[in-house]
Structures are given as C-alpha cells and as structure tokens.
Chains A and B, each alone.
Chain A
Amino acid sequence: MHRLYLVPTLLINVVIIFIPAVLTIALAFYRWDGIGMPVFIGLANFRQLLTDRVFWMALGNNVIWTAIFLTVPIAMGLLAATMMLVARRGSAFFQVVYFLPMVIATAITARVWQGMIYSPLTGIAGLVTRAGFPVPNPLTQPSTALYGIAVVDLWHWWGFLCVIFFAALRQVPQEQIEAARIEGASFWQMLRYVLLPGIRPTITLMMIMTIIWSFLVFDFVYILTQGGPAFSSEVLSTLAYRSAFYDLAVGKAAAVAVVISLFGLATTAVYIRLQAKEFDQ
C-alpha cells in the first residue's frame, strides 16, 4: 500500500530526469542536430573533445573555479562564523544580512554587478577611472573575465556557508570551549584546536558539495560573459548549452554533459557514503 505513495514523486523524477539522462548518455555516441535522425558515430564526439581547445579551456576553468570556491568562501565563512561566535551580540542580525544575497535572483545579482560596479560607463569602475585610477572592466579582459564572474558568485555565496558554519559552531560542546579558555587558549588556538575539529563533518560536507556545485556553475557565466571574451571564461556547462542550442551539435553537448557528470559521480560517491553513515544512525 505505502508503495503507492512514492508513485507521483518517482514518476515525475523518472520522466523528467532519469529517462532523459539515459538518452543523453546514448546521444553522446551520436551526431544529432536536434531535428533529423541521429547518426551513430561511436566515440567520435569524445575524440573531438580531446582535441578541442575550448573544451580544455572550459575544463581548466572549472578546475580553477573549484579551487577558488574550496578556499575563499569557506575561509570567509569560517572566519565570519567564528567572529559571530565571539561577538555573540548581534549575531542574528549579521546572519540575516550575510544570507540576504542568497535570496536574490542570479540574473539580478549579475546585472547589478555588471552595470553598477564593473561597467566603465555606469559603474563604480568607471567612477574610479574618471577619478584618475584606471580600472578596466574585468569581464571584458580574457585574463580576468573568469575571476570577475567568480567575485560575483562569491558575494552571492559566502554568506550561505557562514550561516551553516555558524549553526554548526553553536553545537560544539560548551565544556570544550570552557576548558580551552581556562587553559588560556588564544583566539587562533581556540579556532585551530577546538572549533575547527568540532565542526569537521560540516566542513567536509560543504567541501564535497562545493566540488559538485563548481562543475555545475552556469547562471553567472552565461549572463555575465556567455563564456567570453574568446572563450576565456567558458565552463563545461555553458559549453554544453551553447553546443546544443546555438550550434545544434546535440551529440557534442551530450558528450560534454557526460564528462561533467563523471566528475560529479566521483564526488557523489564520497558524498553518498557520508550520507549513508548519517542514515544508519
């Protein structure tokens, strides 16, 4: 009887996610323009990716992105969360404000940064330039475009981590903190030997999620630069999207999607093992 309760969820999930996912994996071995009959071409899509400069650039950008997001926002979040623990008064207020960017639509965040901060005409960058300190628009320089986008995503994202770390820090046993304080631990010693070890499971989980999410990043890249200039900020997800809907190379897009998923899969394996431990409790 209770099995029937699962039918709606699983039906929707299978139709929207599972079947199309299987089809995508199959399509990766075909050439298809989305309209005509797909032509089986074996591994040709993958072989072409291996020699595709843009593909390697996108993959490299995803790796850079992962490296940035594994360090900067996690460090910021941890530091701010610890400081909120020290400050205590006002922590509820700080928490709400830091979290605020998370509820603003990505399209809007992207446009505010683009027009009001980075723009040489209407933004802060332009204002500073006119004051005599030339600041180029990071989004239009191949060497800085990816970092320009990353800053926007950082602004949007770090507060979420901060709130999660703060919630975890408050669970650290009071006695441990008291004991360390009586022993005369400094702020950094407290952080290093009591607080960080106390919330290690949360940090690990957030790092795993960061790796998975870093390979899925799409919105900010697509809205801010479309992967440009000259593919300098292309990531795998925008490459797949463009291949499918602009170049009508659906087979190639599917192959890129499979590559993204393989990266995710390795990380997911670790993630599910961690979750399994929690469910067995």
Chain B
Amino acid sequence: MRLIESRTTFVLTYAALAILLLITLFPIALLVLNSLKPATQIVQNPLAWPEVYRWDNFVRAWADARFGTTMLNSALLAALTIVLVCSTGSLTAYVLARRKIKSWKIVTFYLLATTTAPIQLFLFPLYFGFAKLGLINNVFAVSLIYTAIYSPFAIMLLRTYFLAVPKELEEAALIDGATHWQVFSKVMLPIVSPGILTVALIIGLYSWNEFLIATTFLQRTDRLTAVVSFFLLSGQYTSDWGEIMAAALIIVLPVIVLFIALQRRFIEGMAGGSVKG
C-alpha cells in the first residue's frame, strides 16, 4: 500500500522518522560511550570519543554495586515471579477464557480494576504488616507482591491464547476419558505454551526493572536487586559517571540483547496485553 505518491512527502517522512530515531538513540549512545571513559574526560565533553578505553569502569562498577550478589537476587526474584505468575495465571486465564464458572465476569472485572489501583493504595499496610511478620528483605515475599501486581496483565494476555484453542479439542479429550485436570495440563497447556513463554519474558523484564517495591521491601545490602543497587551507587556512593554508566550498561545489556532477539514477542506481548486488558 502506498498512501501518498509525492516524492517530497516520501523524503520528508523518512527524514522525520530518522530524527525520531536519533532522539531515541541519543541517550542510549551517551550511556554506552561514557561507560568506557574516565570521569575526567566526561567532565570535559560527554560527546567525545574515549581517549582511552577504561574497561576497568566495569570492574569497579561490578564490585561497588555488588553485582555478584545483587544480580543473583534480581535473577532469583524474576524467576520466582515468573513461576508464580505463569502457574497461577494460566489456571485463572483458562477458567475465564472458557467461562467455566458463573462468576467469570465479576472475577474478570475485579482483576481489571486492580490493574488500575495505585500501588500506594495497598503499599503502606502491606509494608508495616510484612515488617511485623519479618518479611522485609525476603525475596519470596516480594515475588508474591509482583505476582499480585502483574497477574491481571498476564491473565488477560493468556486468556487470548486460550480463546484461540478450538473447543472441539477439549471435548474430544473429555470423550476419550480424560479428567478435567488432564484436559487442562495435558491438552491446553502445551498448546498455549508460546503464550506462556511471552508472558514469562515480559514478567521477567518487569521484575528485573522494577524499582518502587524493590527499594521499599529489600533494603539490606545483601538483599538489594541490581536496579536498586545501581540507584544507590549512582545516588550516594560515587560521582564517577564513567563507573555509573558502566553499571547501567551491565544491567541493560542483557535486556537489550534479549529484546532485539525476541522483539516480536516483547512488542506483541507488552503492547497487546495493555490494549486488550
């Protein structure tokens, strides 16, 4: 499809798109460029090419942000959240998609409503309650919070995958003598596994990047997530922006590589999930 024939419009369009491209890439380029520079050169000119490549920025960033520990915490937190969201979410999504219960509408609306609730509406009693129960600095407790927050989104996305499975498949399995549980676990789950993978990726990304809950509930030095540890490093520990950008790149690089490799999954999942629910 060509909307417009005129060559000028065509050139102008590409020019505008390219400008937007530069605006998007400019801060990311600054991040990468300055992660390799000594602090003294950044002060002179953040745009200049590194005079010397300071690879030791990464070594110092890794040590000062305790990435050995904090990355592990982040990975554990993301893994727990993924498992919890995918297991509980697929059960719920199946029931809601197939309208297995009479109250499916109420449950759906309730879940949609919680996606629009501000975190502050439940944060304070939750924090003081967790404090009383000794659950502050507990990674599993935080993954439960993430699960509650991200589940509605995951359920709405998974629901569309369950809806796409033909009903006859389910009926055939039941006639062959499968139990309801077998229908769900042996027939439905394998078919919607691409959907579960998409949800896992996006939930993993969200919990890896999350800030507000992590900074509130995981405060002990050995329990920080990578992002919070980066936040503390850049806020109070150092003013060496070479080191700070190196720390940023360490956290962002795996995410960007994964995003580019699996772009369609990420984009369809994130954009589709929020449009449809």
Do A and B share a complex? yes
The interface bits of chain A over 224-244 (1 if a CB of B lies within 8 angstroms of the residue's CB, else 0) are 000000000000010011001
Residues of A near B43 (CB, < 8 A) are 121-122, 126
Question: For the complex, what is the distance from the CA of A218 to the CA of B210, rounded to whole Å?
Answer: 12
Q: How far is the CB of B71 from chain A (nearest CB, A)?
A: 13
Q: How far is the CB of A148 from chain B (nearest CB, A)?
A: 14
Question: For the complex, what is the distance from the CA of A237 to the CA of B120, rounded to whole Å?
Answer: 7
Q: A1-B180, A272-B109 are in contact. Are A84 and B17 (CB under 8 A)?
A: yes
A173-191 with Cβ < 8 A to chain B: 174, 177, 181, 187, 190
Residues of A near B28 (CB, < 8 A) are 100-101, 104, 112
Contact of B155 among A9, A215, A261, A279 (CB under 8 A): A9
Contact of A86 among B3, B94, B145, B272 (CB under 8 A): B3
Interface extent on A, as a size class?
Answer: 35 or more
Contact of B24 among A12, A21, A98, A245 (CB under 8 A): A98
Q: Is the CB of B245 within 8 A of A107?
A: no
Q: A83-B16, A181-B3 are in contact. Are A268 and B21 (CB under 8 A)?
A: no
Question: For the complex, what is the distance from the CA of A264 to the CA of B270, rounded to whole Å?
Answer: 22
The segment from B51-59, B169-177, B256-264 found at the interface with A is B256-264
The residue on A at minimum CB distance from B156 is A275
Contact of B118 among A34, A99, A260 (CB under 8 A): A260
Q: Is the CB of B129 within 8 A of A116?
A: no
Q: Is the CB of A124 within 8 A of B100?
A: no
A15-37 with Cβ < 8 A to chain B: 15-21, 23-24, 27, 34
A277 within 8 A of B: no
Q: Is the CB of B10 within 8 A of A86?
A: yes
B138 within 8 A of A: no
Question: For the complex, what is the distance from the CA of A98 to the CA of B126, rounded to whole Å?
Answer: 36
Q: Is the CB of A103 within 8 A of B205?
A: yes
Q: A264-B116, A275-B277 are in contact. Are A34 and B3 (CB under 8 A)?
A: no
Q: Is the CB of A16 within 8 A of B208?
A: no
B75 within 8 A of A: no
Q: A87-B10, A164-B275 are in contact. Are A112 and B31 (CB under 8 A)?
A: yes
The residue on A at minimum CB distance from B229 is A107
B165 within 8 A of A: no
A102 within 8 A of B: yes
Q: Is the CB of B231 within 8 A of A107?
A: yes
Residues of B near A139 (CB, < 8 A) are none
The interface bits of chain B over 69-94 (1 if a CB of A lies within 8 angstroms of the residue's CB, else 0) are 00000000000000010011101101
Q: Is the CB of A107 within 8 A of B271?
A: no
B101 within 8 A of A: yes
Q: Is the CB of A124 within 8 A of B128?
A: no
Contact of A122 among B10, B122, B241 (CB under 8 A): B241
Residues of A near B234 (CB, < 8 A) are 111, 115
Count the B residues whose beta carbon is within 8 Å of the partner chain — how many? Answer: 97
Give the one of B9, B30, B117, B276 with max A CB within 10 A. B117
Q: Is the CB of A187 within 8 A of B145?
A: no
Q: Is the CB of B4 within 8 A of A187?
A: yes
B63 within 8 A of A: no
A141 within 8 A of B: no
Q: Is the CB of A108 within 8 A of B47?
A: no
Q: Is the CB of B124 within 8 A of A250?
A: yes
The segment from A39-47, A52-60, A251-259 found at the interface with B is A251-259
Residues of A near B267 (CB, < 8 A) are 95-96, 99, 163
Residues of A near B4 (CB, < 8 A) are 86, 187, 190
A216 within 8 A of B: yes
Q: Is the CB of B24 within 8 A of A8?
A: no
Question: For the complex, what is the distance from the CA of A121 to the CA of B17, rounded to whole Å?
Answer: 31
Residues of A near B95 (CB, < 8 A) are 2-3, 5-6
Q: A181-B3, A219-B212 are in contact. Are A17 and B122 (CB under 8 A)?
A: yes
Question: For the complex, what is the distance from the CA of A244 to the CA of B277, rounded to whole Å?
Answer: 31
Could you write out 15 A-B pairs with CB less than 8 Å apart? Answer: A13-B151, A17-B149, A80-B20, A83-B16, A87-B10, A100-B256, A101-B24, A104-B255, A105-B230, A108-B252, A116-B31, A116-B46, A167-B272, A260-B121, A275-B109
